[in-house]
């Protein structure tokens, strides 16, 4: 351990609760004692400690054995894991200036820390020696999988390359970091550049008073007196168009959106070209034909072609639905006394009117049947009890990091204790948007660790004394997140790095999405969807309307997503010597080639502002969301056909999917449960596209 770190640690070791194993049940964090000033020393010391442990393994004079190398590696980093799981969880759900500053400072150090391990030559030599003799080591299946995963991760990081090549990889990584950072900066700068200035309030007809006030405030802030300012949001589709009566303004807003990044001071098109060329070069150095091949090798899909095949099988059905939706919209245009032909900027506006005509849904009438506590306990917990026999017992004695966080102990069907579960469901300052699951402690037989899991959401909490009512969407999200939660809690593997949700990106949303549709199961609904005042069950007609409205516009939604996913895949399937001179032409060609170039449905993201694919972590991986949903729909339909809501269904899903983590190849996991490879028909049905 370097001297300065040792000194820094020595001063705080007594009082820093992150420095030692928590005495609470299952090592649940001592939230009542952890303070901001504890994070950095623990994280810095944790990195130093792990490097020291890794060096000892790499330089062990004994020949490599599975135990003295792989098992030993699995045991390293205890302090870093403990501290970083708490830190990054709170950075998402309870952030503040101090936490953000530590995050910024540590980001490059954490990246370098990973490189220090995965580019360690002596260490790779040991892993590689074991890998070469893997068949003769007498390993059990999970241990063999661990060896294969480690070996692949080392190879993919560049461990096999010579010094000069490794230097090239480091240089390319650095360039990539600079380019992605520039891309992000430009996306932010584009916000001002592309904002649409509106001169008169008359042009804003159709928008609510609240929306207009916001646009006026935005203009005031920029010193545009008497004007209105519309900021473009990140997707191609602009939500504000839904209510905008003025067609010329709709056109202007649409053009501002789809032309982002093409020209001007913040043109991102050159970055798209540079990034894709750089990634192609990096992939080639690492032994892959293209960046997409490199990225998909560890995924369930394995090859870009598998993704193209899966998606292209759905294209005709989806396109036919888009046509039907377009016809209904065109009819609405005519019914409103207009004669023009539907254009992309008209879609949301008239689709909204078709929707209103078909499903006159009063959101507050629906919400009255979804009281938060009832959804959670009589809906979500009830379902998990029916499927798996598990029960959730409140544990108000456990410390939490915010008073709204609920703590439970989860018991298995036989009464044995399984896990700690926190539910952090309400929106508040310092919490990022969206919903997610995470772990404070991951299950591992080797480390004798039981899971400590959290679900986080952003439900608006009612005023004190009032019941919190949620939308049906939020209700399904609560099922979804506990689906991830159980993937963590039912994990029953030996090695921590194969535990729970440590699966590929195109698999991880499968167990969670699978649980969503139980929200509409009649037995489940009858148990939880009751009027918060009268206790009356939800009328069937209202429920049917809620469910039917969910498949509205799904042709468009599905098509715009698939177009973006395939565009991402085409960009990252470029060979190292192919030069793209014209970004727009490449994009048009990529869409046409995949049958997803439609007149009025543009990709959810065009190249110039595709943050997932270019600056974000989803290059060649944007497809993963729908891939997971295909698995979920196919598996859920299978469960409905083979018994539905009962223990046999649940136990089968638990045994083959929820308990195995990444200890088995994901396609094998899927087939073990389902009996065959996934097909797309159930997804099309789920989205109402058949
Ligand atoms: Zn999810």
Residue 12: the pLDDT is 47
Distance 437 CA to ligand 1 centre (A): 7
**pLDDT per position as a tens digit, 108-164:** 888 889 889 998 999 999 999 999 999 999 999 999 999 999 999 999 999 999 999
pLDDT over 90 at 568, yes or no? yes
Residue 75: the pLDDT is 98
Question: How far is Cα 483 from Cα 340, in angstroms, rounded to an integer?
Answer: 47
Residue 466: the pLDDT is 93
Calculate ∠ Cα 84-626-107, nearest 5°.
25
**pLDDT per position as a tens digit, 388-432:** 999 999 999 999 999 999 999 999 999 999 999 999 999 998 898
Distance 19 CA to ligand 1 centre (A): 31
Distance 485 CA to ligand 1 centre (A): 10
Q: Are 677 and 667 in contact (CB under 8 A)?
A: yes
pLDDT over 50 at 32, yes or no? yes
Distance 121 CA to ligand 1 centre (A): 37
Is 141 buried (19+), middle (13-18) or exposed (0-12) by CB count in 10 A?
Answer: exposed
DSSP class of 375: I
Distance 197 CA to ligand 1 centre (A): 37
Question: How far is Cα 567 from Cα 582, in angstroms, rounded to an integer?
Answer: 15
pLDDT over 50 at 10, yes or no? no
- Contacts (Cβ under 8 Å, ≥6 apart) of 641: none
Q: Residues 481, 509, 570, 587: which is the catalytic one?
A: 481
Q: What is the DSSP string of 54-115?
A: HHHHHT-SSPP-HIIIIIHHHHS-HHHHHHHHHHHHHHHHS--HHHHHHHHHHHHHHHHHHH
**pLDDT per position as a tens digit, 576-597:** 988 899 999 999 999 999 999 9
Q: What mean pLDDT is reported for the chain?
A: 94
Q: How far is CA 404 from the centre of its chain?
A: 24
Rg (CA), the chain: 26
Q: Are 659 and 491 in contact (CB under 8 A)?
A: yes
Distance 434 CA to ligand 1 centre (A): 10
pLDDT over 60 at 4, yes or no? no
Residue whose token pair is 């990709």: 603
- Contacts (Cβ under 8 Å, ≥6 apart) of 81: 46, 442, 496
pLDDT over 50 at 28, yes or no? yes
Distance 106 CA to ligand 1 centre (A): 26
Phi, psi of 428 (to 5 degrees): -165, 165
Mean predicted confidence (pLDDT) in 167-195 = 90
Count of CB atoms situated within 10 Å of the CB of 513: 25
Q: Give catalytic status of residue 481 as yes or no.
A: yes
Phi, psi of 612 (to 5 degrees): -60, -45
Residue 112: the pLDDT is 85
**pLDDT per position as a tens digit, 127-142:** 999 999 999 999 999 9
pLDDT over 50 at 3, yes or no? no
Question: How far is Cα 619 from Cα 617, in angstroms, rounded to an integer?
Answer: 6
Q: Give the percent of the chain with pLDDT over 90.
A: 87
**pLDDT per position as a tens digit, 60-104:** 999 999 999 999 999 999 999 999 999 999 999 998 889 989 988
- Contacts (Cβ under 8 Å, ≥6 apart) of 237: 257, 348, 560, 604
- Contacts (Cβ under 8 Å, ≥6 apart) of 139: 66, 147
Residue 14: pLDDT band (50, 70, 90) is low
């Amino acid at each position: 351990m370097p001297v300065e770190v040792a000194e820094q640690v020595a001063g705080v070791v007594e009082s820093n609760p992150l420095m030692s194993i928590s005495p609470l049940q299952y090592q649940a964090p001592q939230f009542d004692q952890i303070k901001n000033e504890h994070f950095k020393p623990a994280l810095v010391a944790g990195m130093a400690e792990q490097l020291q442990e890794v060096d000892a393994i790499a330089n062990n004079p004994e020949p490599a054995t599975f135990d003295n190398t792989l098992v030993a590696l699995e045991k390293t980093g205890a302090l870093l894991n403990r501290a970083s799981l708490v830190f990054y969880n709170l950075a998402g759900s309870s952030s503040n200036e101090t936490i953000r500053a530590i995050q910024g400072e540590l980001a490059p150090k954490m990246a370098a820390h990973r490189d220090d391990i995965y580019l360690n030559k002596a260490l790779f030599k040991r892993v590689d020696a074991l890998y070469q003799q893997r068949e003769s080591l007498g390993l059990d299946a999970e241990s063999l999988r661990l060896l294969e995963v480690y070996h692949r991760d080392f190879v993919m990081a560049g461990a096999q390359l010579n010094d000069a090549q490794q230097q090239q990889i480091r240089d390319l990584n650095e360039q990539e970091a600079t380019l992605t950072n520039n891309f992000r900066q430009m996306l932010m700068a584009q916000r001002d550049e592309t904002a649409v200035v509106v001169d008169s309030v008359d042009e804003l007809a159709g928008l609510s008073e609240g929306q207009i006030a916001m646009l006026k405030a935005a203009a005031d802030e920029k010193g545009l007196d008497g004007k209105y300012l519309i900021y473009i949001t990140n997707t191609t589709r602009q939500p504000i168009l839904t209510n905008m009566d003025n067609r010329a303004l709709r056109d202007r807003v649409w053009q501002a959106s789809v032309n982002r990044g093409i020209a001007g001071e913040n043109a991102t098109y050159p970055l798209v070209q540079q990034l894709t060329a750089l990634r192609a070069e990096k992939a080639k150095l690492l032994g892959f034909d293209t960046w997409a091949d490199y990225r998909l090798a560890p995924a369930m899909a394995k090859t870009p072609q598998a993704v193209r095949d899966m998606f292209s099988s759905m294209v005709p059905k989806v396109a036919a639905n888009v046509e039907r939706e377009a016809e209904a919209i065109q009819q609405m245009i005519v019914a409103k006394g207009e004669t023009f032909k539907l254009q992309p900027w008209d879609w949301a506006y008239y689709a909204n009117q078709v929707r209103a005509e078909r499903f006159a849904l009063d959101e507050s009438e629906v919400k009255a049947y979804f009281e938060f506590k009832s959804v959670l306990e009589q809906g979500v917990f009830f379902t998990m009890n029916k499927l798996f026999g598990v029960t959730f017992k409140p544990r108000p004695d456990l410390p939490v990091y915010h008073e709204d966080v609920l703590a439970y102990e989860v018991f298995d069907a036989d009464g044995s204790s399984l896990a700690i579960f926190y539910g952090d469901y309400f929106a508040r300052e310092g919490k990022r948007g969206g919903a997610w699951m995470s772990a404070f402690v991951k299950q591992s037989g080797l480390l004798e660790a039981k899971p400590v899991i959290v679900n986080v959401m952003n439900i608006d909490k009612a005023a004190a004394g009032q019941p919190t009512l949620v939308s049906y969407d939020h209700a399904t999200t609560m099922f979804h997140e506990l689906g991830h939660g159980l993937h963590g809690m039912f994990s029953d593997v030996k090695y921590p790095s194969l535990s729970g949700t440590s699966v590929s990106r195109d698999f991880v949303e499968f167990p969670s999405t699978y649980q969503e549709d139980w929200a509409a199961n009649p037995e489940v609904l009858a148990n939880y969807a009751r009027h918060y005042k009268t206790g009356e069950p939800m009328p069937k007609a209202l429920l049917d309307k809620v469910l039917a409205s969910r498949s509205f516009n799904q042709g468009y939604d599905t098509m715009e997503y698939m177009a973006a996913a395939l565009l991402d895949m085409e960009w990252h399937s470029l060979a190292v010597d192919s030069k793209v001179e014209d970004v727009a032409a490449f994009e048009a060609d990529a869409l046409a080639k995949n049958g997803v170039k439609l007149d009025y449905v543009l990709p959810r993201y065009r190249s110039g502002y595709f943050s997932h694919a270019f600056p974000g972590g989803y290059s060649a991986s944007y497809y993963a969301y729908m891939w997971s949903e295909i698995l979920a729909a196919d598996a859920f339909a299978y469960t409905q056909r083979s018994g539905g809501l009962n223990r046999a269904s649940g136990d089968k899903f638990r045994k083959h999917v929820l308990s195995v983590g990444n200890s088995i190849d994901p396609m094998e996991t899927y087939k073990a449960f389902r009996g065959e490879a996934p097909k797309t028909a159930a997804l099309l049905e789920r989205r109402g596209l058949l």
